[in-house]
Structure 1
Amino acid sequence: MKIGHLFLSVLFVLIPYQFSQLAVAQSAKDKKPLVVFVTGDHEYSGEETLPIIAAEIEKNYGMKTIFLKASPDHNSEKNIPGLEALKDADLAVFYLRWRQLPADQLALIDEYLKKGKPVMGFRTTTHAFNFPKGDASEKWNAFGEFALNSPPGWGGAAKHTHYGHNSSTDVTIIPEQAKNPILTGVTGPFHARSWLYRVLPDYPVKESTWLLMGKSVNPDKEAIENPVAWTGTNSFGGKIFMTTLGHPEDFRLEPFQRLVINAIHWELGMKVPKNWTGKMDIQVPYREAK
């Protein structure tokens, strides 16, 4: 075979390969990150507030979402269908309260966590599970600690509590974190309807980064200031963002909305948007816990 013919033969082999590689690279670049929301709480209507957040990040920020909720309703503690979606998730967002999920569903959450993928949590997710003492799944009661650097469940030795339903919270930005990307466009101070959760003195776990502090307004007992939002790395090596805010009226606040959108971007390793697409209309009522 002549050298010219050999060169053309090699060229014809290489060109399709190069185009194929470029197509794969472009496909990876164009792939939208998948955010899976997992909800089930008796009190704060997470299954109504977070779908609005999900719709916003799909419409304006180039993400895909899957939304999961307790079945048949928010008070159903033992079933959240569809957790298989976590197998493909790039970010899992949890808003849970005192669930008792079956072992096969817990295994899907466990599989996700063990991959070291990012995790986000709201308010009562500090006490996401509530299995009886001695139950085979009792270790999941400490989900807040091992997944989100928060206290390991309600009360107990951590003294995780709050300052009464008639109180609320003044929120300020921790000065050292003013330039943190997650706080881009988050103007403070602002007033949140959530009654302040006590997580100090032992939580958030060491080496977490505190972003926002809360001061209780009209507390029902002696109160101290507590962090209400933090980031860090959990016990599986995954990035975390946790906020103890999350009352439905908090979601009406533009600073809180921006915090959540920014945190989702940060968790996914995406650049936090400087341009805000506008305040969302989130009008969801609070309901008393059962």
Structure 2
Amino acid sequence: MNTRIQVISRAFALIVICSVLFSVHAFSQAKKTSKSGKPLVVFVTGDHEYSGEETLPIIAAELEKNYGMRTIVLKAYPDHNSEKNIPGLEALKDADLAVFYLRWRQLPKEQLALIEEYLKKGKPVMGFRTSTHAFNFPKDHESVKWNAFGEFALNSPPGWGGKAAHTHYGHNSTTDVTIIPEQAKNPLLTGVAPAFHVSSWLYRVLPDYPVKGSTWLLMGKSVNPDKAAIDNPVAWTGTNSFGGKVFMTTLGHPEDFRQEGFQRLVINAIHWGVGKKIPDTWKGKMDIQVPYREPK
């Protein structure tokens, strides 16, 4: 029995050591980036369903190769189903843009403090899909306020369901996306097709979200919904409760990333987020072949 306990203890210690080493490496990379003069984009990933930790590194590599940026991709550890550890969040101290793709995490307070420190600086944020419900703490937990991350950071509904009636129109549905006519000349939509189709089932955010003062960019129409459906905005900009500029999209199914219109939107939004001129032309479509997985 003692031998078994020793083995378990050693395995746990190894996990802790690996987590610390990962954090040190990410922080070191951020310091190097801050001296390079190139903007640093930090991607924070951890979702059970949409493979954000696989799609976003491809975006990150493209930013480094073709758009003069530096990137760090942080991932839930030891895998995407780990809800309580995203090592390396110290990198946010030097980030010019934080990009979140999270779903129902329960991070420790010291990691949440690093995210909060970033937000309180009023620095720009970007979010994908399930980041509307990035955290899922029990009602009596000391960190329960983070369940409303979507609202206070991304101008979206404050978590899944609830009074906001934040829901979707069924896993067998898809979405037709169109540019809102009044935003046709918005630089963020440079090169984005006026209409395209995505695999994401449409999220309902209306009537109360995006928060007042947000600028709606794209509208989604549910195809083959499982209930009576209304059109909903699927991408918007604005200013969050900390004074930071926001780009949020409820799209983000891995098959969405295969669509050139969506790829262009993401590249544009990241340029906008770091304060760089949005490219009039871009380096071309990326090959993103990442599978969807059913959440556990």
- TM-score higher than 0.5: yes
Question: Aligned-pair distance for 1:30?
Answer: 6.5
Q: Which residue of structure 1 lines up, in the alignment, with residue 123 of structure 2?
A: 117
Structure 1 runs, 4 residues or longer, greater than 6 Å off: none
1:216 aligns with 2:222: yes
Cα distance per residue 1:65-90 (max 9 Å; x no partner): 01100000000000000000000000
2:150 to 124, 144, 154: 144
Partner of 2:42: 36
Number of residues of Structure 1 aligned to a counterpart in Structure 2 = 263
- Paired letter, 2:201: W
Percent of matched pairs sharing the same residue: 86
Amino acid at match of 1:114: K
Residue by residue over 1:35-72, the C-alpha shift from the partner in whole angstroms, topping out at 9 and shown as x without a partner, is 00000000000000000000000000000001100000
- Distance change (3 Å), C-alpha of 1:29 and 1:185: farther
Structure showing greater radius of gyration is 1
After superposition, where does 1:81-160 map in structure 2 within 5 Å? Answer: 81-160=87-166
Q: Find 1:181's aligned residue among 173, 183, 187.
A: 187
Shift of 1:188: 2.2
1:1-290 counterparts in 2 under 5 A?
A: 31-290=37-296
Report the secondary structure of 2:216's partner residue.
strand
**Distance across 1 between alignment mates of 2:193 and 2:170:** 26
Read off the aligned partner of 2:197 and give its amino acid letter: H
Deviation string 1:232-259 (CA, Å, 9 cap, x unpaired) is: 0000000000000000000000000000
Structure 1 counterpart SS, 2:217: strand
The more displaced of 268-277 and 148-157 is: 268-277
Deviation digits for residues 124-181 of structure 1 (CA, Å, limit 9, x no counterpart): 0000000001100000000000000000000000000000000000000000000111
SS in 1 for 2:282: coil
| TM-superposed deviation, 1:95 | 0.1
1:29 Cα shift? 11
Amino acid at match of 1:131: F
TM-score when normalising by structure 1:
0.90
Q: What is the TM-score normalised by the length of structure 2?
A: 0.88
Specify the SS of the correspondent of 2:278: coil
- Give RMSD over aligned pairs: 1.0
**Cα separation, 1, equivalents of 2:282 and 2:93:** 31
Per-residue deviation, residues 11-30 of structure 1 (Å, max 9, x unmatched): xxxxxxxxxxxxxxxxx997
CA distance in 2, matches of 1:44, 1:160: 18
